[in-house]
Structure 1
């Protein structure tokens, strides 16, 4: 919104309207009693959400309504006494079907929200359903609440969980189990709540049931990886003891391969579980928040919803959280063992380098001694051949009549030649040493 769109001439943030709308994107239901409600939570990936939206638009065409032009986080279709709300979440899409048509049968679960939807539409719904249950709402002011035995018959004889939320303004019965139709069931008797209050209670109960199932998705992963974590711990202990107890030869290559295999397994496990375990903790927090908002009173002889959830759900969530922490701890321990192994390998390499340098130093000294020997032999050989050449020169000069003593001249030439050859050889040797030192100084300067 720019300054021209408000009377104060203020420049508004471009996302201000979207931020305001976000708080109203998922409004509470407004439900009259009696009503029959069905809820579905369908796991879909990002690629299938558009196809799911198009499938939702088919409902509009079935009821001769105009479908929406684009998807949204919350879409609600009003088909008279039937309302269908579709909400998109991070990893699932939910459908809440509110059926307020009359008349309702004596069995509160004989006529549900799903019974008003086309069967072929339900059968072609994409994704996988993780949560599916029915909520039957009765008005206690117009219909007396039945005896406990009658209520139990509605839930096929299963053990009931009872609750009186909102300080007794409603009576809720459920089992948190799957019934013969493949869905869960909740029965609510409205004792004095308004339509808005009833809608909020229903929304919270729906979220408690759906989020607790989504939170439990991490439990099978935790159980699977817990079977292997004890073995990995023992392998790591064995490797650590092997490193600490080994004072002699150690097959470092084999140990490194084991460490790499363990690190690869742990990182693969973390990649497969991090999102799921984080989602488990987030869903559990939402469940606890919704339970607190119910403000339950106890029904004599029955567990409340909060008691049931905290007793059964919380340990499962803790198992997932503990498994995730175990994987993180194992990863850190493997890193420390890997550092120890790298330090050991570095020390071994340094020791080998020291032995190699000492061996090279000994060879250099031998080569230097040999070089001095060769230099001495070279001086003798060069001097010998040089004196031979000088002797030829002296004899040639003597034959030409130069008055010299050949033996004396040759004798005097011997020390002069040897001294000259030795001096020239030392000069050349010193020159090469100087060049080598200059090259070493240049290399150290570059580093």
Structure 2
């Protein structure tokens, strides 16, 4: 016996990773049996309420209630088997009537028939998928199937196939019946209980994931007309920019901002739903491949029906998601063009403003030179007046000199000195400005 090495550092989630592969085992189903499958959209509060409701079921049936919630719970109460699975956004319930009787009428006693009265109606969540499966043992030829199954589908058009290399036949209408549930009938010819359980589980997943993948279609149809409007609006803006028309840049930028905001709102509303649609669709295709169907009596197989009806709906959702991304990129490019146009306009205005400022500076310089000329005259006049007063004072004091001659000689000297002084100050400030 080999002992486990004690020196290895095992990841703390290693055990959970192993258990995950075995967390949702296939059913082992007897035949005949009646199965009811329900899938409900749930939030956290509803999920907690569902677990408490499951505990209540155990109490009503006289069994010990579970204490901890698990991703896949299964319990058997006599002839009733209950299975609950929790997923990312929905929870599924499978109710199996293990002994409906050897001669029971299909869909008369369903998997939910053994539940306590009123318990199912009080289940929290929004029902997306709800359908019955009736499992029957047959030894007859497939040619006799229509006469056997058609009365139980209320005259609706049937889809049929022979999966698992002809060991069973599956019939369904993929429509709601008078009780508000869908219906499938599995005619088992030679499948074992475990094979029948796997086939039934795949059918339940196909129908559940089909409906979950279609949840985005109404949203896509609602968004499409608004995308058409925004597309046309954006095309007109882009054409106006291409034609270089005179437009109100402020109004256009506000319009582009409004389009971008609406696109982001649509993306926030739809991104998760569209991504989930793609994921569910891939799961449906995978489960269809696992059926290994053959055509039955000229009817559409489940795979043909799905690829013909489901795939276009999924492609519609994908195209709307792609249009949102494309519109977002186009709005960004148009906004960049508008910003470039605005920046060029601002640069042109700045150049005009600088040219205007340059002209004003030249005018101010010319005025300054003119003022400097007047300043020379004014300063010289005051200096000469002061000199005359000084000469008068000197003459009155008894000094003898030719006052007019001295004043005449002083006038040009004073004018020249004032002029040179002002020019020196002017050049001094110019040098200071250049150093700055």
Return the TM-score normalized by structure 1: 0.91
1:297 match: 294
Deviation at 1:263, TM superposition (A): 1.9
Match of 2:172 in 1: 174
CA contact (8 A) 1:104 1:111 kept: no
Could you report, residue by residue, the CA deviation over 1:109-159 in whole angstroms, capped at 9, with x for unpaired residues? Answer: 011111222233222211110000011112336999964223101111111
Please, which of 109, 115, 119 is the counterpart of residue 117 of structure 1?
115
Deviations 1:60-87 (A, max 9, x none): 2222223232222212223232221111
Q: Between Structure 1 and Structure 2, how many residues are aligned?
A: 434
Taking the TM superposition and a 5 Å limit, the aligned residue runs for 1:35-434 are: 35-103=33-101, 106-140=104-138, 147-247=145-245, 249-434=246-431
Classify the secondary structure of the residue corresponding to 1:115: coil
- Is contact 1:214–1:280 with CA below 8 Å preserved after alignment? yes
Q: Distance in 1 between matches of 2:92 and 2:279?
A: 18
Determine if contact 1:105/1:111 at 8 Å carries over to the other structure.
Answer: no
Show the counterpart of 1:443: none
1:445 match: none
Q: 1:57 and 1:431, CA in 2 relative to 1: closer, same or farther beyond 3 A?
A: farther
Whole-Å Cα distance in 2 between the matches of residues 194 and 317 of structure 1? 35
- Structure 1: state its 5+ residue gaps: 440-447
CA change 1:404–1:60 in 2 (3 A) is farther
Counterpart secondary structure, 2:118: helix
More moved, 307-316 vs 97-106: 97-106
> Structure 1 residue 424: deviation in Å?
3.1
Alignment partners' CA distance in 2, 1:136 and 1:157 = 17
Q: TM-score, normalised by structure 2?
A: 0.93
Q: Secondary structure at the match of 1:339?
A: helix
Quote the Cα distance in structure 2 between the aligned partners of 1:177 and 1:100: 25
Q: Map Cα deviations across residues 206-242 of structure 1 (whole Å, 9 max, x no partner).
A: 0100111111111111212222323322222222222
Q: Distance in 1 between matches of 2:51 and 2:390?
A: 113
Give, in whole Å, the separation in 2 of the partners of 1:10 and 1:157.
65
**Equivalents in 2 of 1:383, 1:82: separation in Å?**
123
Answer yes or no: is the 8 Å Cα contact 1:164–1:297 preserved in 2: yes
Check the 8 A contact 2:143/2:297 in 1, yes or no. Answer: no
Contact 1:57–1:67, Cα closer than 8 Å, also in 2: yes
Aligned CA distance change for structure 1 residues 30 and 147 (closer, same or farther; 3 Å): closer
Whether the aligned pair in 1 keeps the contact of 2:100 and 2:109 (CA below 8 Å) is no
Mean CA deviation greater in 269-278 or 33-42: 269-278
SS in structure 2 of the partner of residue 114 of structure 1: coil
When residues 384 and 192 of structure 1 are mapped into structure 2, their CA distance, relative to the original with a 3 A threshold, is same
Q: Say whether the 8 Å CA contact 2:36–2:110 is kept in structure 1.
A: yes
Which whole-Å CA distance do the structure 1 matches of 2:280 and 2:329 have between them?
A: 27
* CA offset digits 1:291-327 (Å, max 9, x no partner): 0000111102211110111111111111111111112
Q: What are the ranges of 5 or more consecutive residues in structure 2 without an aligned counterpart?
A: none
Aligned CA-pair RMSD:
2.2
Which residue of the other structure, out of 14, 27, 30, is the alignment partner of 2:28? 30
Determine if contact 2:32/2:101 at 8 Å carries over to the other structure.
no
For residues 190-214 of structure 1, give each alpha carbon's deviation from its aligned partner in whole angstroms, at most 9, with x where no partner exists: 2222222111111111010011111
